[in-house]
Amino acid sequence: MARVNAPTDDILFSLRHVARADTLPDWDDELAGEIVGYFAAFAEERIAPLDAVGDAEGCRLENGRVRMPEGFVEVYRELAEQGWQGLVAPEAYGGQGLSGAVLAAVSEIFTGANHSLQMVTGLVPGAISTLKRFGTEAQREAWLPLLAEGRWLSTMALTEPGAGSDLSAIRTKAVRDGEGWRLDGEKIFISGGDQDMSEGILHLVLARTGAAEEGVRGLSLFACPAERPDGTRNGVSVTRIEEKMGLHASPTCQLAFDGAHAELLGEEGGGLRAMFTMMNHARLDVALQGVAHAARASDLAKAYAAERRQGRGPDGAPATIDAHPDVARMIDECDALAIGGRALCHITLVALEKGDQPDFVEFMTPVCKYFCSEAGIRAADLAIQVMGGYGYLKEYGAEQNWRDARICSIYEGTSGIHARTTATRSLTLNGGAGMRAFANFVAENDGLAEAAEAWSKVAAATAASPDADAYDFMEATASLAYRAAWARVAAVADASADPARLRRLAGRVERRGASSFRA
């Protein structure tokens, strides 16, 4: 297994110069650099070595409890002790109170080192946001410190056997029981539904408080701890863990809720709204997971191609394969997808943190999720190809990178769902404000004004036609977003450590135009 080299410099350049995180009120440039550098070292030395171990060993269900693979419990303890779980939690509740931009850097590096462990621990910031926004003061006091200190982890329990992309079909029922609520039902595909790393788990559960005919309007969000305050188990049990293509060290659980005590989070019937707070965080996080897999692909492919000798170079002498144009093309594409996808995420995230462009953020979130998850899979595939037969072998890591990346375009809304959202709701959002904000974002870049105008026409036609091809529209939108991101990167290339590299990649993306993303 090749060593993991975290793309620390690329990430900091992107945050600072491409996304202008320095314009955020809570950004401390020097501190951010130190924290990211510190985490990168921890990830490379402690977290990354468990990635192949976790893949080979997987999680086990023993006597109704999930056991994580060898070494995960110890590394999680260090992670929690160092305060990484509370990075963005308010200081008043035991957190570090740092910027979401720092979290973006840390999450990407974490995923590049070990997607499975990041998956199990990475739902906490979304839970923290949800509690901050929808929890009562008593709920915040009860749970935020536990999550911030890493004593508890959290889950997002939405999916059911009959309710995947269509949450209106949710059947888990919540009924009032005196002062509180009780949950009954079955949830599937719950990441980190159980594990033996944290003392406790807070399940955030979408359940039906209204009639089935009310669809999503009858759903409410609940906080349901795996253990009751008196230390007894709550009525939540793991009935199965799934055997998956990848993410073997992320326990994907089927959970049975059997009269489990729970507390309502936010308003009754307001479940979807509360869930979207959590979900939108998760969607940008998945986009960053895609970026992490693209960056890891580039890392793996470069390391291999710089060592592997085969054939002869342009000068006729035996050459390493990175001298061959087709190999260089594939490595460049991995790099371009990582850098361009990261720029999209960081730009969206900085706008989210600022809070002054909500329409732009709402338009961009599914675009980032769609583009970056597909980009991660595409780059991971190219890294396998660069390595040829060795890419197909387990010990070289490229095949695990692909298997772990593959989930990104499925969970937190499939690519098809995000395409449909973008081709319908996003276009009419706030009287077309999201659509205009996206067009402006594109048009602001050198040479892209015409493309932005052409896109606006297609967008208007798509908005007007119920039979529009959502997939085609999303592909066009994502490709244009990617080109705009690269135009921004190229414009600030001089601030990077290697401007020539960024200009070469920008030229490559622009030459390929709209097809840059797929081929």
Least Å from the CB of residue 207 to a second copy: 19
The stretch among 3-11, 102-110, 299-307, 466-474 that binds a second copy (CB under 8 A) is 466-474
Alpha carbons 294 and 383: distance in angstroms, whole number? 9
Among 45, 166, 267, 307, binds a second copy (CB under 8 A): 166
Task: Check residue 138 for interaction with a second copy (CB under 8 A).
Answer: no
Strand locations in 22-70, DSSP E?
60-62, 65-67
The stretch among 27-35, 79-87, 103-111, 412-420 that binds a second copy (CB under 8 A) is 412-420
Q: Which residue is associated with the tokens 């399940």?
A: 203
Task: Check residue 158 for interaction with a second copy (CB under 8 A).
Answer: no
Q: Looking at the DSSP assignment, which residues form a beta bridge with residue 252?
A: 191
Task: Check residue 385 for interaction with a second copy (CB under 8 A).
Answer: yes
Amino acid present at 485: A
Task: Check residue 246 for interaction with a second copy (CB under 8 A).
Answer: yes
Burial of 122 from C-beta contacts in 10 A (0-12 / 13-18 / 19+): buried
Task: Check residue 210 for interaction with a second copy (CB under 8 A).
Answer: no
Cα dist from 293 to 99, 120, 286, 479, 506, whole Å: 23, 17, 11, 19, 20
In the structure encoding, which two tokens stand for residue 355, read together?
């809070």
Dihedrals phi, psi of 305, to nearest 5 degrees: -70, -25
Task: Check residue 465 for interaction with a second copy (CB under 8 A).
Answer: no
Q: Which residues contact 298 (CB under 8 A, 6 or more apart)?
A: 7, 331, 334, 335, 338, 379, 383
Selection from 279, 174, 157, 154 nearest residue 219 by Cα: 174
Smaller CB separation from a second copy, 80 or 470: 470
Task: Check residue 310 for interaction with a second copy (CB under 8 A).
Answer: yes
Alpha carbons 481 and 218: distance in angstroms, whole number? 36
Question: Under DSSP, is residue 516 helix (H, G, I), strand (E, B) or coil?
Answer: coil
Question: Under DSSP, is residue 399 helix (H, G, I), strand (E, B) or coil?
Answer: helix
Task: Check residue 391 for interaction with a second copy (CB under 8 A).
Answer: yes
Q: Which residue is associated with the tokens 């999916």?
A: 159
Smaller CB separation from a second copy, 403 or 503: 403
Among 204, 327, 338, 435, binds a second copy (CB under 8 A): 327
333, 412, 450, 510: the catalytic one is: 412
Alpha carbons 214 and 224: distance in angstroms, whole number? 23
Active site annotation includes 412: yes
Task: Check residue 38 for interaction with a second copy (CB under 8 A).
Answer: no
The stretch among 83-91, 347-355, 409-417, 490-498 that binds a second copy (CB under 8 A) is 409-417
The stretch among 199-207, 243-251, 275-283, 351-359 that binds a second copy (CB under 8 A) is 243-251
Task: Check residue 504 for interaction with a second copy (CB under 8 A).
Answer: no
Task: Check residue 410 for interaction with a second copy (CB under 8 A).
Answer: yes
What is the contact surface with a second copy in residues (CB under 8 A)?
Answer: 159, 162, 164-166, 169, 188-189, 242-246, 309-311, 324-327, 329-330, 377, 381, 384-385, 388-389, 391-395, 399, 402-403, 406-407, 409-411, 414-416, 419-420, 469-471, 475, 515, 518-519
Q: Which residues are catalytic?
A: 412
